[in-house]
Structure 1
Amino acid sequence: MSGLHWESDRRLTAIGRTTLSIAARQAVVDGEASTSTSVLDYGSGRGDDVRGLRGMRFQARGWDPFYAPDEAPQPADVVLLTYVLNVIEDPEERREALQRAWGLTERLLVVTTRLTWDRSKVRGRQYEDGVLTSRRTFQHLFSPAELRAYVEKTTGVRCVSAAPGIVYAFKSDDARLRYLARKIVPHADWLASDDTGSAIAAVVDYTERRGRLPKLEEMPTEMAKLLAHLQPNELQRIVRKSADPQKAEAGVRASTLSTLLFLAVELFNGRGPYSSLPMSLQLDVRAFFTSYKEACMRADRLLLKLRDDTYIRGAMQASKVGKLTPTALYVHRRAVDQMPTVLRLYEHCASIAAGRPPFWSLVKLRHQGRAVSWLDYPEFDTDPHPKLHSSYMVDLTTLKTSFKSYEEAANRPLLHRKHEFLASDDPDAPKYRRLTHSEVRAGLYRNPHLIGTEDGWETELLRCGRELRGHRLVRRKES
């Protein structure tokens, strides 16, 4: 055991929760765990995830060597391995635990560990490849890239970082690609339909947004039944007559770019044959490209553009959304889908490599070097100058990550000119723009080096005799 002369008491690391763990919540949010899938929590601790999932009517079971040892773990569609690997002090036993969980997995293994940036919260001293805590427990803290590589090496499959410290390992490449497609290609929401007329209207709407007619297999079951009496040529004629040509053409452009984005991200993570693509993407390739080979060649060229500093800088300057600074482009999450395709690819590659955090407001794309940061401003919509809560950065050249929390900071960074991070047609943009104009007229931006933090901004407000009431700037009342 690599010179280890003690055995940690791992049961002490099991904590009680009143909500689902971040891993279980992520699997539910991503639609990977549902009422139609079986879930095994392998190393379930006190069983809070199992109880929470059962409360949601999920088919959930748990096994734990201390808290639930009696029932042998049975295979399940989704297996959760939550904060287990990091508490095992023996590297060989750690690997065997991951292999056993993988052996019980029928569709998806969700692996979660504590991360290196938690080191300040773990009281103890360095021991072997981890930390020996003051409670005589053990913690091996992973970096996001290390965790993904470790799971890939042990399972032998390509993995995806669903969030920092959460790795998805799919049993089949088809399932992995379906997951990526849901993340990258806009989801096709169908209009409600209860008769043939409304079903046809829903198909017209789909055609305008996607740029092509849907196949019967892509439609919701009830809608397909409503249209079953129509011959394909007849439905095609009706839709072509009803669809707005300009909207359909915009749908073609959007779907073409989304397909290229998916294929480029897929190459970044390992590309499979045409037959491995989800059906809807196969149909997009047929509709918008001369061949799968042509689509892949165009996607490859797009991925190569990420290495071209001049091209990236030009894409940032041409972007209709976001705030461009001397070092980076900042875009609000509501506007990221409107960035040029190469910049969307830039952000997606970082998210797959090291995980996109669950909470963020702005994405920062560096044009000097290749690094992506997700910045969390929880009060962005309500605070005229929201304060930074946390920052998570991924360096795409080294895959190193860093996390910084400002939650306890006394003088937090804050934002100005909020409208610049949004799309021009965002419903909140006019309100934010009016505030910025008022602040410029009042002289609040004369000393830009002072206003980037809470204390400096408050000093300038006092100097100019102003205060904020919501998103309105008013004269400060004399005390």
Structure 2
Amino acid sequence: MQQQTWNSDRRRTAIGRAALSVPARQALADRQLTSDRTILDYGCGRGDDVRALERLECNVVGWDPYYRSETRAEPSAVVLLTYVLNVIEDPTERRETLKRAWELAGTVLIVSARLTWEKSKVRGEVFGDGLLTSRQTFQHLFGASELRSYVEEVTGARVVSSAPGIVYAFKDDAARLSYLAHRITPDAEWLTSEDTASAITALVDYVERRGRLPRVDEMPRATAELLAHLKPGEVRRLVHDTADAGKIAEGGKRSTLNTLLYLAVELFNGRGPFNSLPASMQLDVRAFFTSYKEACQRADRLLLKLRDNGYVRGAMNASAVGKMTPTALYVHQRAVDLMPTVLRLYEHCASIAAGRPQEWTVVKLKHQGRSVSWLNYPNFDKDPHPRVESSYMVDLQSLETSHLSYANSTSRPLLHRKHEFLAPDDPDVPRYRRLTESELKADLYANPHLIGTENGWESELARCGRTLRGHRLVRRPTD
């Protein structure tokens, strides 16, 4: 296929950036842009992402029909298609551009697009399936689920949503499953090994956290080299004599649940054969289950439980973390991994389907119907009653998404009883609980229908003659 020629007027949509674009930052965080992979920024515009990735020692090339037309768009392990599909007014050409980018990708194609919730920022007249702006540029805004479905249809690949408006199309199951494994059970950091004693300490720490011995290729190179003189039997005896048996049992239980979570999410997005699993996940299956079949059957039962309203509500009531309301469970980001496994699965399925936003503080899981919302309270730790900045919701039944911004609201919703959103042993809980107790004593919660917004809360503070100094409630000064 010949290299695509695009209308050069689209150059006006290429903005200059002082930092990496949001999709490139997300791909870096997801370990898709690494120094050992070739990267092609297809439709790179002014090339700011290319230059930033070069500074990070990435092997990256940028091609653009206007700014870098002399560069050849060669096949690469990773292809970035960053905010390109939006600006192509011809649906046929848009589709061909996506197909060409897919053909060039060896491992993964990373597609990003502007979403429909940005419509207020784009002014123009209706033109085709988008808008023609006053600068004669075109914008087709995608729905989050529309983008995922569109990329799946054109590429024929199983697509994973990384964040709203950012999807990954993988060329093979191994790459996709490796990404899912990292997303669900991130690699735990090993303790530093400087000599044999510290290497043994690092090994014991791993075994206590994971519940099993690692294979040599799971160890950091320095640790593996320091332990290379020991025979397997000697290593097992050292761990047996040194490690805490209770911690190993807890680590094994945690790894078992994480494996079930992974296999359940994998089915939601297409499950592959055992040998397609990442090596560490294969070892977990062998260590904690009688067979891959048994592990998959248990994961399938877990996924079925997600459809049972009574079971889900029971899991929410039994959860050691989070604030339960008549309609949903609210959990702080720091406590999400402590939720019951079925609730972690609930949140992960939503994130795989529609993307988890980059900025969020509290997740809301509805127990009537199936929807997940990620709420952003940027000043949760500093503000005694944090104000919500934005909300991103996905309906798991329709896969429709919605986004709300409260940036221009004159009376934003705010939180009370902050300690209830966190794990009981969170170090901030005692301070937050003391504030709640003092507010209850001052009768500030007497009118719950008023205190949920800034204006209502301020009126109640005034009624009770109180004000806040940090996380301390004090008497309001009299004139």
TM bucket normalised to smaller: over 0.9
Report the 3-state secondary structure (helix = DSSP H, G, I; strand = E; otherwise coil) of the residue aligned with 1:9.
helix
Deviations 1:166-200 (A, max 9, x none): 00111221011111001111422111111111111
1:123 alignment counterpart: 123
2:187 alignment counterpart: 187
Distance 2:54 2:39 in 1: 10
1:32 alignment counterpart: 32
Deviation, 1:8, is 8.2
Distance 1:164 1:187 in 2: 24
Distance 1:52 1:8 in 2: 24
Deviation, 1:309, is 0.3
Deviation, 1:141, is 1.0
* TM-score between both structures, scaled by the size of structure 1: 0.97
Matched, 1:60 2:60: yes
Matched, 1:71 2:79: no
Distance change (3 Å), C-alpha of 1:310 and 1:8? farther
Distance 1:128 1:370 in 2: 34
2:399 alignment counterpart: 399
Distance 2:395 2:363 in 1: 13
2:335 alignment counterpart: 335
Distance 2:61 2:430 in 1: 51
Alignment of 1:79-228 (within 5 A): 79-228=79-228
1:471 alignment counterpart: 471
Structure 2: state its 5+ residue gaps: 1-6
Distance 2:258 2:192 in 1: 25
Q: Is the 8 A contact 2:260 2:298 kept in 1?
A: yes
1:294 alignment counterpart: 294
Is the deviation greater in 402-411 or in 99-108? 99-108
Q: Is the 8 A contact 2:8 2:65 kept in 1?
A: no
Alignment of 1:1-20 (within 5 A): 9-20=9-20
Matched, 1:48 2:48: yes
Deviations 1:129-160 (A, max 9, x none): 21222222211111111111111111111111
Q: Is the 8 A contact 2:259 2:285 kept in 1?
A: yes
Deviations 1:1-39 (A, max 9, x none): xxxxxx782111111111111011001111111233222
Distance 1:186 1:302 in 2: 21
Is the deviation greater in 323-332 or in 47-56? 47-56
Deviation, 1:125, is 2.4
Q: Is the 8 A contact 1:8 1:137 kept in 2?
A: no
Matched, 1:461 2:479: no
Q: Is the 8 A contact 1:8 1:89 kept in 2?
A: no
Distance 1:240 1:153 in 2: 52
Q: Is the 8 A contact 1:323 1:331 kept in 2?
A: yes
Alignment of 1:362-373 (within 5 A): 362-373=362-373
1:348 alignment counterpart: 348
Distance 1:173 1:203 in 2: 30
Q: Is the 8 A contact 2:438 2:473 kept in 1?
A: yes
Q: Is the 8 A contact 1:8 1:136 kept in 2?
A: no
Distance 2:467 2:269 in 1: 50
* TM-score between both structures, scaled by the size of structure 2: 0.97
Is the deviation greater in 342-351 or in 134-143? 134-143
Q: Is the 8 A contact 2:42 2:64 kept in 1?
A: yes
Aligned residue identity for 1:29: A
Distance 1:188 1:456 in 2: 45
Distance 1:34 1:389 in 2: 33
Distance 2:191 2:52 in 1: 32
1:280 alignment counterpart: 280
Alignment of 1:438-449 (within 5 A): 438-449=438-449
Deviations 1:254-287 (A, max 9, x none): 0000000000000000000000000111000001
Report the 3-state secondary structure (helix = DSSP H, G, I; strand = E; otherwise coil) of the residue aligned with 1:174.
helix
Deviations 1:101-127 (A, max 9, x none): 112112221100000111121111222
Distance 1:436 1:402 in 2: 32
Alignment of 1:408-419 (within 5 A): 408-419=408-419
Q: Is the 8 A contact 2:331 2:362 kept in 1?
A: yes
Is the deviation greater in 109-118 or in 123-132? 123-132
Distance 1:187 1:114 in 2: 31
Matched, 1:303 2:273: no
1:358 alignment counterpart: 358
Report the 3-state secondary structure (helix = DSSP H, G, I; strand = E; otherwise coil) of the residue aligned with 2:445.
coil
1:253 alignment counterpart: 253
Deviations 1:64-111 (A, max 9, x none): 101111111122222110010111111111111111111211222110
2:4 alignment counterpart: none
Distance 1:233 1:45 in 2: 58
Distance 1:238 1:67 in 2: 61
Report the 3-state secondary structure (helix = DSSP H, G, I; strand = E; otherwise coil) of the residue aligned with 2:107.
strand
1:239 alignment counterpart: 239
Distance 1:144 1:415 in 2: 28
Q: Is the 8 A contact 2:8 2:66 kept in 1?
A: no
1:434 alignment counterpart: 434
Structure 1: state its 5+ residue gaps: 1-6
Deviation, 1:47, is 1.0
Matched, 1:423 2:396: no
Aligned residue identity for 2:287: A
Q: Percent identity?
A: 67
Q: Is the 8 A contact 1:432 1:471 kept in 2?
A: yes
Distance 1:187 1:75 in 2: 30
Distance 2:319 2:446 in 1: 27
Report the 3-state secondary structure (helix = DSSP H, G, I; strand = E; otherwise coil) of the residue aligned with 2:119.
helix
Aligned residue identity for 2:347: E
Distance 2:388 2:321 in 1: 21
Distance change (3 Å), C-alpha of 1:466 and 1:477? same
Is the deviation greater in 56-65 or in 397-406? 56-65
Is the deviation greater in 247-256 or in 70-79? 70-79
Deviation, 1:478, is 1.2
Distance 2:113 2:300 in 1: 33
Report the 3-state secondary structure (helix = DSSP H, G, I; strand = E; otherwise coil) of the residue aligned with 1:467.
strand
Distance 1:53 1:406 in 2: 33
Deviation, 1:329, is 0.2
Report the 3-state secondary structure (helix = DSSP H, G, I; strand = E; otherwise coil) of the residue aligned with 1:375.
strand
Deviation, 1:128, is 2.1
1:3 alignment counterpart: none
